[in-house]
Amino acid sequence: MKRPRPATLASVAVLTSVAGLLVSTARADDSSTAAPAATPRATEPLAAPPSSGHAYIQYGVALAAETVVASGAICAGLPNCIFGSGGGLVVRVGWRPSNALFIGGTYEISKQDPDQLYRLGILQQLRAEGRRYFATGREVTPFLLVGAGVSAYGNEWAVDTWGPMAMLGGGIEVELGGPVLLLSAAYRPMYFHSWDVSGTELGTGIVHFVGLDIAVEAKDRL
């Protein structure tokens, strides 16, 4: 067998080197032209929708429950208490200058349990109300509720006693795609002057109520 010539060995070595260089160059070109890997986008925090900037008239009706938690000196020492728990209807209208505020007026009438001292014990309330909303960026918005006004109580539609009242509470407002649903609870102390019922003198005192409202309200843009 003939031994390969040095020139042949040199040629093979050169060809091998050139082939290796071409393969390396091709690999470098492929890596440079490949599409860069997509980097994951940072998750953007959920932002609350901006305020509409419009004022509204907001109005509606509600079902109300008025629970007596203490009748004070009015019923002290009497076998029957003329102030018992009850329920009724509410009519409310107000101004919504921004998404954060509501200022309005409310008339509420409720039938209370008079423990047979009245044929029909009617409690009436006329009060001014304010709500301070706290935006969440969602369909449910909590609010703080304050109010003050006058209340009256009597048999059927008579006003046998009356006095000032106050209110402090809170609730939530739920967007329904147009109207809104409101659920609220409030503490309402009411002061009543003394009066006479069938020869029985009822003293002056403060009756402490806890009221619950379920309301549906509409909004009309001004």
**Tokens describing residue 162:** 């009356």
Please state, in angstroms and rounded to a whole number, the distance separating the CA atoms of residues 208 and 187. 7
pLDDT at 53: 67
Q: Which residue, among 219, 181, 208, 187, has the nearest Cα to 62 in the 3D structure?
A: 181
Burial of 74 (C-beta count, 10 Å sphere; 0-12/13-18/19+): buried
Output helix, strand, coil percentages for the chain, rounded to the nearest 5.
Answer: 15, 55, 30
pLDDT at 154: 96
pLDDT at 52: 54
Q: What is the pTM of this model?
A: 0.75
pLDDT at 76: 82
pLDDT at 198: 83
- Structural domains of the chain, with CATH: 56-221 (2.40.160.20)
Please state, in angstroms and rounded to a whole number, the distance separating the CA atoms of residues 163 and 205. 10
Averages of pLDDT over each 10 residues, the chain, 222 residues: 45 47 48 48 46 83 97 85 95 96 98 93 98 94 98 95 98 94 98 89 93 96 89
pLDDT at 17: 53
pLDDT at 18: 43
Q: How far apart are the first and last CA of the chain?
A: 109
pLDDT at 72: 85
pLDDT at 203: 87
pLDDT at 73: 87
| Rounded (5°) CA angle 17-21-25 | 175
Q: What are phi and psi of 203, to 5 degrees?
A: -80, 170
Please state, in angstroms and rounded to a whole number, the distance separating the CA atoms of residues 148 and 33. 75
